[in-house]
Amino acid sequence: MAHTDPVIITCAVTGSIHTPSMSPHLPITADQIVEAAVGAAEAGAAVIHLHARDQKTGAPDQSIDAFMQFLPRIKQRSAAVLNLTTGGAATMTVDERAGPASKLKPEVASLNMGSMNFGLYPMLNRFKDFQHDWERPYLEGSKDRIFKNTFADIEYVLTSCRANDTRFEFECYDIGHLYTLAHFLDRGLVEPPLFVQSVFGILGGIGAHPEDVAHMKRTADRLFGTAYRWSVLGAGRNQMVVAAIAGAMGANVRVGLEDSLWDGPGKLATTNADQVRRVRQILEGLGRTIATPDQARDILSLKGADQVGF
């Protein structure tokens, strides 16, 4: 992965980590998700990572109908690669989580590479008032909830999408997740180039210190050599710092309101495009060029937008 390679910016526009009460700018409805995705693509994101929400309560919704409210509309208005979550929310079964990707046949789907503690409850120190009954228990429950991604779960997602030629954004929250990915590579259930998304700063996963970033890259280099494409995301206030550190090391980057609500200290990002523009400024300041959607498809060996099921 050379520093001269075009850098793929992924934007995760809504996610399931944050709740509607945390920011008035979090896209919830299908219309909002469409505008957020198109805006992020216009700002320079080649890949758009998508979750769906209940349009009335904002709760995570992994139904096919929810995704179909916005996927065809985004595809019509943008050339960006559309990447569907199989993470959904930690409260869902693996069958629920895999449903949209297995049935809608996206070019890319996310895949979490290990079970883990996934601590959202510290957010309750900052956010006190909630609009919907589900929000506080959802955050509180993360103190005693395992985000389950067993070997059987991972294999289920891989095999359920295999006939679709869907490739994966392998989300690795810790070093052991890289070894799990290497296990599936050894078994022939995944194929290069591996799109490895290293996640830094989630409570329960690896931290966001520069040494953590370097350790993740060293380990991936040793395990995968030239068979992978590295991307990073920093959670919360770590977003731009991690992007800058890893961007200088040749990484691709992910931003978006799924991962961080902020656009500077104490300042809420008003759009996903705000974060894309900010990280693009950082990357171009480092001398990096920004990948177009077609360049991203070539780098990641994707099947093309004409081969999806929406």
Q: What is the DSSP string of 263-281?
A: SSTT-B-S-HHHHHHHHHH
- Give the Cα-Cα-Cα angle 47, 145, 60 (nearest 5 degrees): 40
Q: What is the DSSP letter of 8?
A: P
**What is the chain's pLDDT, residue by residue, as a tens digit (310 residues)?**
445 789 999 999 999 999 999 999 999 999 999 999 999 999 999 999 999 999 999 999 999 999 999 999 999 999 999 999 999 999 999 999 999 999 999 999 999 999 999 999 999 999 999 999 999 999 999 999 999 999 999 999 999 999 999 999 999 999 999 999 999 999 999 999 999 999 999 999 999 999 999 999 999 999 999 999 999 999 999 999 999 999 999 999 999 999 999 998 999 999 999 999 999 999 999 999 999 999 999 999 999 999 999 9
Burial of 126 (0-12, 13-18, 19+ CB in 10 A): exposed
pLDDT for res 3: 59
Q: What does CATH list as the number for 9-307?
A: 3.20.20.70
Instruction: Count CB-CB contacts under 10 A for residue 162.
Output: 12
Handedness of CA 295, 301, 305, 310 (dihedral sign): negative
pLDDT for res 5: 86
pLDDT for res 64: 98
Q: Structural domain boundaries of the chain? A: 9-307
Q: What is the DSSP letter of 238?
A: G
Q: What is the pLDDT of residues 174-194, one digit of tens each?
A: 999 999 999 999 999 999 999
Handedness of CA 145, 151, 152, 154 (dihedral sign): positive
Find the Cα–Cα–Cα–Cα dihedral 16, 17, 23, 28, rounded to 10°. Answer: 0
Helices (H) and strands (E) in the chain, counts: 11, 10
